[in-house]
Amino acid sequence: MSPVKKRVVRRVPPRRKPTPRERNVFLAVAGNIGSGKSSLTRLLSSRFGWTPYYESVEDNPYLNDFYGEMKRWSFNLQVYFLSNRFRSHKTITEGNHSVVLDRVIYEDAEIFARNLYEIGNMDRRDYENYVALYSVMTEYLHPPDLLIYLRANVNTLLKQISMRGRDFEQSISKEYLEQLNAHYERWIQSYTKGKLLIIESDEMDFVNNIEDLERVTAMIAKELDLPAREGLLR
């Protein structure tokens, strides 16, 4: 009679859930022109040690032409932004490090392209083509772990646009910013892709006031369940 062979069962220990410090974080900052997205992206990158991804502005070949003749260059500009943001978003989601992103791809379609179409600066054919391309591209993207929306009124936006002194932005009208703000509010009210943190930035100066930056940092640490010391300024 053959001896009975015992079956050896190898027990694999369960995969340890990464701690908040170990996991990669994808944070994004959204908001209207002049709301302080790039400044906050830079500050958060420094404070948390995350890699920053900035909006393509200085090397954008269409911006000057667009603000001079929106109807002629709107489609070209939006496709340029869509391509660049898709590339950045894809790199982020495929990477293995924590990042903070200046403006998300969703703003392009939900805010800027939609507004250009509604005010007659992008024709229906181009707009529908753009939205179809956007829809296909975003199917492959993982949304941010936390989206920060910098809410600011038009007077704040105009003041900050004037202070940073970009020549091509000085022709932006109050009416145009009001239209964008209306689209932002509609979009934010229906945002369901992930966690959302709205920061009322009219009375906040996180660039020059360390206490305001500490408040923002603490709110982010709480939303992302980061250890308390992760939220402290370095």
Count of C-beta atoms within a 10 Å radius of residue 189: 7
102 in catalytic set: yes
User: Does residue 32 sit within a domain?
Assistant: no
Q: What is the strand order of the sheet 195-200 is part of?
A: 51-53, 99-102, 26-31, 146-151, 195-200
d(CA 172, CA 142): 32
d(CA 79, CA 85): 10
* pTM value surpassing 0.85: no
**Domain containing 186 — which CATH number?**
3.40.50.300
H/E element, 184: helix 174-189
d(CA 227, CA 205): 25
d(CA 36, CA 102): 10
User: Does residue 112 sit within a domain?
Assistant: yes
Over 80: is that where the pLDDT of 165 sits?
A: no
User: Does residue 14 sit within a domain?
Assistant: no
User: Does residue 6 sit within a domain?
Assistant: no
pLDDT digits (tens, 9 = 90+) for 77-128: 999 999 999 999 999 989 999 999 999 999 999 999 999 999 999 999 999 9
Its domain, for residue 128, covers 70-144+165-204
User: Does residue 34 sit within a domain?
Assistant: no
- The torsion angle over the Cα atoms of residues 152, 153, 159 and 165, rounded to 10 degrees, is 60
d(CA 138, CA 85): 10
User: Does residue 75 sit within a domain?
Assistant: yes
Q: How many domains does the chain have?
A: 1
DSSP H stretches of helix in 12-151: 37-48, 63-68, 70-94, 105-107, 114-118, 124-138
User: Does residue 190 sit within a domain?
Assistant: yes
Residue listed under structure tokens 């079956």: 7
Average pLDDT of the chain to the nearest whole number: 86
User: Does residue 115 sit within a domain?
Assistant: yes
**Catalytically annotated residue among 65, 102, 123, 145:** 102
pLDDT digits (tens, 9 = 90+) for 126-159: 999 999 999 999 998 999 999 999 999 999 999 9
